Chain A
Amino acid sequence: MLLIYCPYCEKELPEIEFHGEGEAHIERPANMADLSDEDFEKFFFIRENEKGIVFERWRHLHGCGRFFNAARHSVSDKFIKTYKAGEPKPKLTKKEIEAVLPPAKSTPANEPIWTIEKEGEKK
């Protein structure tokens, strides 16, 4: 379970108090009726789904009820920071990103733990 810092309550609280609300910083077009199908698809369906740093919305559903944004690494699941709704996407420093990187051999997805036995090689 994640521990999430609510920037309004100014407390780190367990994930079950929160509801994930998907990718952050998606701007709802003001001229929705005039959008082409391609532009509507981009706004409504296409997602970054980054393997790395993600910006996402959360809602402190069972607390203050407010929406806020977060920057998190989607392999280590560690948060870099959370910030209030309406604030611009933060520019992350190299140091901040390095602090949340997964260890090089953290999961089988990063580093296979099994090696191929070479043809003809004796066990």
Chain B
Amino acid sequence: MRKFSAFAVAREAMRSHKGWEKQWANPEPKSSYDVIIVGAGGHGLATAYYLASVHGITNVAVLEKGWLGGGNTGRNTTIIRSNYLYDESAGMYNHAVKLWEGLSQELNYNVMFSQRGVMMLTHNVHDVQVAQRHLHANRLNGVDNSWVTPEEAKEFCPPLNISKSVRYPVMGAALQRKGGVARHDAVAWGYARKAAAMGVHIIQQCEVKSVNRDESGAVTGVNTTRGTINSKKVGVVAAGHTSVLMDMAGVRMPLESYPLQALVSEPVKPIFPCVVMSNTVHAYISQSDKGELVIGAGTDQYTSYSQTGGLHIATHTLEAICEMFPIFARMKMLRSWGGIVDVTPDRSPILAKTPVKGLYVNCGWGTGGFKATPGSGHVFAHTIANDEPHKINAGFTLERFHNGRLIDEAAAAAVAH
């Protein structure tokens, strides 16, 4: 793998860009690997990369039924923040933010991580109290977050409407300056490129059809559309399809899969300098480096695997955005799409061993998994390599749903959906 550098760009400019090589191979699957990861999204590829780079396990296959980064990794709104309420969540998401900060250098791939600030608006007394509670919890956990008045919020994000005459006036905001965005495709590509260079096989268009287990119940491999592949360790990182895959191994999951939509506007010149979200009126907006406004809508109310959602869900978000940012009222929306998100009862992920020996699962990220990509991959690789969770994901077990040790971010309303 050739290193990307200013020199490489200049060299290629001199020879009509004919020297760029393929960033990863498309190998035929071998008959066995040390570890199989099911799902070549950001989390799966990050897991493979950290297995290779941190734990020295390079005989790894990442199986993907579609194409690399084509699921929720390519469908999210790219927001990164770590201002969660509970200690476990703060630990997990802040671990990810720390890894994001050095990721482009580590991968030698520009993931365009931009800490432009994430501002969460409050519109009533309850919102203010919830935000203050989060601020204090974050302060105790060493997570960056601060309170801004409506005027300061307006200064930070000039298009914001702080008029008192709107239905839900802004009463202040929690601002995480270290939050921001990254280029989602580049994250998958960067991890894929570096992992492939270390010997990881990324096998696309290879759908897992069943999971094989021996007499003791331990995992022995998977049957795929490209033949049987053996491995004593299988990590399932399949987002919305986790229930389907885990069912093949006889493990029933506390998950429901919902469509989640996003949309982008026509591209315009830079106008929106940060990320703004509001749980109360459900506005969720930022601007990509291409100039499009990137808008996140909510989940539909029914479970589905259709990767499409109802138009009224997107309309709801746009109505809120038009009130918060009247300047955008006449903008045209360019594209909308949906992804399937796997939601747990407490809205916290599961990164854990399972009752089946050799089977590991990283799922339940629901509506907000992108921000955790590096941290999730890092601790999940540790869990697989050592057959023991990292201290950061020790609480994100599957057992918490029968021992009651929930990480109840849903009740804490820390998520935007």
Residues of A within 8 A of B (CB): 1-2, 15-16, 19-20, 22-23, 37-38, 40-42, 44-51, 54, 56, 72, 74-77, 102, 107-109, 112, 114-119
Contacts and interface: CB of A to CB of B under 8 A. Distances in A.
Contact of A119 (B25, B301, B310, B403): B25
Chain A interface helix/strand/loop/mixed: loop
Given A37-B404, A108-B66, 14 more contacts: A1-B311, A1-B312, A20-B302, A42-B252, A48-B243, A49-B253, A49-B255, A56-B303, A75-B306, A107-B308, A114-B66, A114-B67, A114-B70, A116-B205
Contacts of B302: 2, 20, 56, 72, 77
A109 B304 CA distance: 12
A15 B310 contact: yes
Contact of A46 (B65, B254, B308): B254
Chain B interface helix/strand/loop/mixed: loop
A1 B66 contact: no
Contacts of B305: 51, 74-75, 109
A112 B67 contact: yes
B307 to A, nearest CB: 5
A114 B302 CA distance: 29
Nearest to B243: A49
15 contacts: A1-B312, A15-B301, A23-B256, A23-B303, A37-B402, A46-B252, A49-B256, A51-B241, A51-B305, A54-B303, A75-B305, A75-B306, A114-B67, A118-B26, A119-B25
A97 B339 CA distance: 24
A30 to B, nearest CB: 20
Interface in B315-366: 340, 345
Contacts of A37: 402-404
